[in-house]
Each structure stands twice: as structure tokens, then as C-alpha cells.
Amino acid sequence: MKFSDPRLFKLLREFFKVHLPMRQHCSEHTIRAYRDTMNKFVDFVKARKGVKLEEVTFDMLSRDELVAYLDHLVRDLGNSLTTRNQRLHCIRAFFSYAADADVTLASYLDKLSSVCDSRQSERMAVEYMSESAMSTMLSSPDASVRRGLRDKTMMILMYDIAARVGEIVGLRIKDIRFESPAVVSLLGKGKKERVVPISEKAVRHIKRYVELYHDGREGNPDSPLFYASYSSSKHPMTTDNVRRMILKYAKIAHKKNKEVPEHVHPHMFRHSRAMHLYQSGMSLPLISQFLGHSHLETTMIYAYADTEMKRQAIVETEKKRTHETGGNGIRLCKVDNEEDLKKLYGLKC
């Protein structure tokens, strides 16, 4: 295959195969996040330019295309500003590496560096579903059919243990312990392992799922818990597959319950679980441990979001009261037609 810009694909390969794992010592989750970002950015530019993959060049990955891509994430895909900023960071990291490897590419990094992070507070970017919405979401898959059982089990487990999507697809059979108390071992950011409890409801679904998909745990304990089969072997599901699956059920659930957003992404399960635990009275230090946060300050976003939600409810109530009373405590009458309005203002008897 002949590339229009061989440097681009050579540097991409070195970035993912050498720089991130061997020089930066990044975890598999981190490398997957960088790779996912660059894949999506290149695909986005390829579609806009109407070119084949091998025809994509550094010139095409311009500042204007980057801005359009970041806007697309928020506006069209419903991604949070946090996700937007993370994608921007990944793309900048590649261009920084490229500029170090080839000084003639420094101008590209310089132009992309002018694209700023979103300045909206991280605390304002918490997207979560109400308990009613989450219940509708989890009941959407039909567990009486094979695929529905898999999807339902994955979503229940993802919510139950507040897992990141990368943690879910990285689970192996041996990471689940059914003996009481049932727990799951998760490998999180920075290769940090944490052990979290599983509810009885989740255990029941996982057992049914394992019985059907893994012959009752008789297979290889290192096999991925959630997998796709091809080439006569089991491979972990991709994060893109999980996102598409969740979006499909979100559309179904939204028709039943308008509290369910039309655009639901996997991380909303984690945020929702954390918010529901906080609202039910669990302390922030315990939630922080449950989520695997390194700093309690990170967990404070849920306390802030809950406080902000209550503040907005008070504001809306006050607006309604002011509208009904005119701000002076006297309830205003509601006029529905022009005839009554004229009578009220003395224009007609």
C-alpha cells in the first residue's frame, strides 16, 4: 500500500508500539485510550475530506479539523467537556512526539497548541442518570435471549461496581469470585488493582451469563468475561462495541422513560452509581475508595453536583412562586384571552 504521507503512519506506529509502552511505561488502558482517540480523529478527517486512509496526511490533520472534531464530540455525540479535553490531550501528545522525532513537523504542533482546553469546571461535567432512569435502562435488554442476557449482565455489573468501560472489557473469568462475600478484581488507571463487592442481583445475572457463555467456568480462567468470537478464539469486546450497545438501549429506554437521556455513554454508569451512593448517605471517603480515586478531591465532584442540583431546584421553585405572586406575595390571576385582558385593564366593561 502506498501512503501519501509515509511519515504520519511511521510515527503513529512508533508512538503506540515504542514511545507509550517502552518509554512512557503507559498501561494498556492508557495506550488503548490514545489509540482510540487517534483512530477516531483520523476517521473523522478521512470522512470530511472524502479520502482513503492511506491518503491522509499531516496537512489534513489541521487545527481547523481538530476544532471541528472536538465540537463534533460535544455537539453531535453528547460527550462531556472532560472527554473533549482528554481527547485533545491525546492528540497533542502524538503531535508533540512527532515534533520531537522530526523537527520539520514542529509547525503542526505549534498550530494545534493554540486549541485550548474547555475552561468549564470539571465539577460541572458530572453526567448521571436518576435511579428511575437507570432502572429503566437496565431493564431494556431481553435477558431471555442470548445476546440480551450478555448485554443486561454487562450493564448491571458496570453500574453495580461503578466500573470504567476499559475495566469492564478487561475483566477475565478469574477476576470474579462468587463465594460469599462475592467480589471482583478490577485493574484501573495506572495499573492499580482494586477489589470491590458485587451485589446479589449482579451475582445472579453473572452466574447465568457464565453458564451460557463460558460453560459454567469450565473454560480457560484467563478468557475475557465479555468477548467477541472470531478466528476460532475469544477476544475482549472493544470499548466501541460497548458504547454502541449502550446507546442502542438508551434509545429504547428513552421511549419508556423520558428521564433517560437519548445519548448515554458508559461513564454515566460510573457517575450514576457514585451519585446514588452519595445521595443514599455513603461517605465521600468510602465512595472514593470504591471508585479507586487517588485523591478525595476527585470524589468531591459528586457532593458539588448534588448540592448544585438542590440549589437549582430551590431557584426553580422561587421562580415559580415569584411568577405566581408577582414578587409581592399576592397571587396573580391567570388571563387566558384578550377579552379578559381588556376587562382587567379597563379597556372593556
Active site residue 302: yes
pTM: 0.62
The active-site residue out of 92, 189, 243, 263 is 189
Q: Is the pLDDT of residue 161 over 90?
A: yes
Residue 205, judged by CB atoms within 10 A of its CB (0-12, 13-18, 19+), counts as buried
Burial class of residue 46 (count of CB atoms within 10 Å of its CB; 0-12, 13-18, 19+): middle
Predicted pLDDT at 200: 93
Determine what percent of the chain is predicted with pLDDT higher than 90: 54
Segment 296-320, tens digit of pLDDT: 777 888 877 777 666 666 666 666 6
Judged by DSSP in three states, 133 sits in helix
pLDDT above 70: residue 218: no
CA–CA gap between residue 110 and residue 96 (Å, rounded) = 9
For 150-164, what is the mean pLDDT? 96
Spatial CB neighbours of 35, under 8 Å, sequence gap ≥ 6: 16
Active site residue 214: no
Contact 163, 157 (CB under 8 A): yes
What cell numbers appear for 283 in the block? Answer: 461517605
Please state the rounded mean pLDDT for residues 314-330.
58
> 330, 232 in Cβ contact below 8 A?
no
- In which band, very low, low, confident or very high, does the pLDDT at 323 lie, cut at 50, 70 and 90? low
User: DSSP E strands: which ranges in 8-145?
Assistant: none
Q: State residue 307 phi and psi, 5-degree precision.
A: -65, -40
What pLDDT shows up at residue 116? 82
> What pLDDT score was predicted for residue 188?
80
Q: How far apart are CA 109 and CA 66, in angstroms?
A: 12
> For residue 298, how far is the Cα from the chain centroid?
16
Q: In this structure, are residues 156 and 139 in contact, taking their beta carbons and an 8 Å threshold?
A: no
Query: For cell 429503566, what's the residue?
Result: 136
Give the number of C-alpha atoms closer than 13 A to the C-alpha of residue 314, restricted to the C-beta side: 6
**Confidence at 285, pLDDT banded by 50, 70, 90:** confident
Window from 96-105, 108-117, 294-303 with minimum mean pLDDT: 294-303
pLDDT at 316: 65
- Each residue's pLDDT tens digit, 171-187: 999 999 998 899 999 98
Please indicate whether residue 270 is annotated as part of the active site: yes
Residues across the chain: 349
Q: How far apart are CA 149 and CA 212, in angstroms?
A: 9
Give how far the C-alpha of residue 332 lies from the chain's centroid of Cα atoms, to the nearest Å: 46
The one catalytic residue among 84, 164, 254, 271: 164
Confidence (pLDDT) at 339 = 55
Average model confidence (pLDDT) across the chain: 85
Q: What would the DSSP string read from start to end of 46-84?
A: HHHHT--GGG--TTTS-HHHHHHHHHHHHHTS---HHHH
Q: Which residue has the higher pLDDT, 13 or 80?
A: 13
Structural element, H or E, at residue 177: strand 176-177
- Out of 40, 270, 273, 276, the active site residue is 270
Name the active-site residue from 19, 214, 234, 267. 267
Per the listing, cell 505549534 goes with 110
Other CB atoms within 10 A of residue 134 CB: 24
104 Cα distance to chain centroid: 36
Q: Which of 22-26, 78-82, 174-178, 283-287 has the lowest mean pLDDT?
A: 78-82
3-state secondary structure (DSSP) of residue 299: helix
Per the annotation, the verdict on 293 as an active-site residue is: yes
Average pLDDT over residues 3-29: 91
Residue 349: per-residue pLDDT:
47
* Alpha carbon distance, N-terminus to C-terminus of the chain: 87
pLDDT reported for residue 322: 57
List the one residue out of 159, 134, 143, 150 whose CA is nearest residue 270: 159
Q: What is the mean pLDDT of residues 101-107?
A: 90
